[in-house]
Amino acid sequence: MEKIFLFLFFLLSLTTFGISGADAQDAQASLLDSAMDQKQYTIPAGLTKNERQWFIKFQEGNFFVDGWQDITISILEKTPVAEQPKQKKLLAELGNKIGTEWCKDNDIRKIDTDMLKIWGKQLKNTAKKNPDHLETVLVAISNELDSLNQ
């Protein structure tokens, strides 16, 4: 719901600040194409109904917390264009791995919300300050998750 509100606010802003109709349509199309191209995930098979719901919440977030898809978009915006396809793939793989573990019942899963916050901050800070090291951080988080599941 909040994304619809933000989208409507964006459109209102375009018309309020005097952007021509053609420019507004181009900006709107670009925004939609970009979001649709970057926001992709597949729900793993074999999850229970409850796990599926939590996996989707992890991916999409809510009013208070960014989901993995929004985090991915913000990271890719700061990533050099030549590296974006590879980083997008690594982020999707890591998002599936984390989301699949995080959606489990609290007494079973090996990660918690604090870990998600730490990893999210690591990724955002690396993308902002040193995007050339993003792959290293992605691999490190993936390896940490693998070691927790052994």
- pLDDT by residue (tens digit) across 78-96? 998 999 999 999 999 999 9
**HSE-up of residue 85 (Cα within 13 Å, Cβ side):** 1
Share of the chain above pLDDT 90, in %: 60
Report the helix count and the strand count for the chain, using DSSP H and E: 7, 0
Q: What is the mean pLDDT of residues 3-25?
A: 46
Model pTM score: 0.72
Whole-number Å distance between alpha carbons of 150 and 99: 17
Does 110 have pLDDT greater than 90?
Answer: yes
pLDDT at 23: 52
Rounded-to-10 torsion of CA 127, 63, 60, 71: 0
Does 24 have pLDDT greater than 50?
Answer: no
Does 8 have pLDDT greater than 90?
Answer: no
What are 34's two structure tokens?
Answer: 């970009």
pLDDT at 39: 62
Whole-number Å distance between alpha carbons of 127 and 129: 6
Share of the chain above pLDDT 70, in %: 74
What are 115's two structure tokens?
Answer: 């870990």
User: Average model confidence (pLDDT) for the chain?
Assistant: 81
pLDDT at 34: 55
pLDDT at 150: 82
Q: What is the mean pLDDT of residues 27-54?
A: 72
Closest residue by Cα to residue 57 from 74, 69, 45: 69
In sequence order, which ranges of 17-112 are alpha helices (DSSP H)?
21-38, 49-60, 68-78, 84-102
CB of 100 closer than 8 Å to CB of 44: yes
